[in-house]
Structure 1
Amino acid sequence: MAKPVAPRGSARERVLQAALDLFIEHSVGGTSMQMIADRLGVSKPAVYYQFRSRDDIVMALVEPMFDDIVRVMKIAAAMPTQQGQRDVTVSGVVELSVRYRRLTFLFYDRAVEHAVRSREDFMAVSDAVAAILHGPNPDARARVITTTLMAGTFTAAADPELADIGDEQLHEILLDTARRVLELLA
């Protein structure tokens, strides 16, 4: 009888899941490739076969979220007014913060911040979101409000103390809060 073969890509997905669990427990900087291998019960070279580095794992985890943000930004760019662009962007950011709530904490980890900032395409998306939210020629007040909105949205979505709140309710609360915060820009 032939030995069952694991579906293609399943080893990669298992590495990503184990890494994410360890990142949540120990932070990215506190997680080694050996820890990931130990969690999976495989050798460290088996993990390196899937990913060259811990930064590669981090990027593989966050890339789907950035791809989704790029799609939101394309939709926002098609809106005829700045308010329409802002509404689409806020709605999209809230949606993604909830959809990726297990991942959003990563953006506040210094190791992740370094990896993300090294990617020009990721920084361009981040800058585009900020530009739509605070508008052209933002003063200090607008920049602080925008940063507070983004940080608060993602932090609330990732907060383990709020894990008992279902996605639908969290989305509703975050969207209402985001809209109220943006009213401060008026």
Structure 2
Amino acid sequence: MSIVVRDVREHELDSVLALNNAAGPAILPLDAARLRYFFDRAEYFRVAERDGSLAGFLIGMGSASDHDSSNFRWFCERYPNFFYIDRIVVASRRRGGGVGRAFYADAQSYAELRYPQMACEVFLEGTNDPVLLFHGSFGFREVGQHVMPEADMRAAMLMKQLCSHAWVHETYGDALPKLPWVLQPRVASAPLAQRPTGTCS
């Protein structure tokens, strides 16, 4: 069956929470309040469906957000404009079946119209070589490492250049065509012209 990627619905938050907290040590745990924070603030919060059931989710923030993650702030201190993947979770029974690649393709399609780079991190505790390999095969490169003070965990900080962004920005500026597949942010955010170009908000 095909994979369907779409915006999360409020009634699915309990299922998303359970999925996150069953993901293992590679993903920081959440509580209901923290998940609501993401639901209310995240620019990109989408789920994947396969065979009619929830197969995973991805949460992303633009660099103009006031996200409080120390990893996000690390990128903010070094890069002026980027799309940040806070977390991606794929249900254990669906791993290796293309759900992660479907998410990244969808997130990139969204981000490259608006941002020159995508950022994320991979925890280096334990055996995360498969996760690093996945990101490397998708074009991410390590640009540094950071120890999260809130979790005392070291992460590889990864960045991917979005080659199409320059052409889109030069051709359309801040007025993207009104096409159904050109998704608008889930939550109100600053227009492109008002996004900070030196530091995050």
Q: Which has a greater percent of helix?
A: 1
Q: Which has a greater percent of strand?
A: 2
Considering the TM-score relative to the shorter chain, is it more than 0.5? no
TM superposition score normalised by structure 2? 0.27
TM superposition score normalised by structure 1? 0.28
Rg: which structure is higher? 1
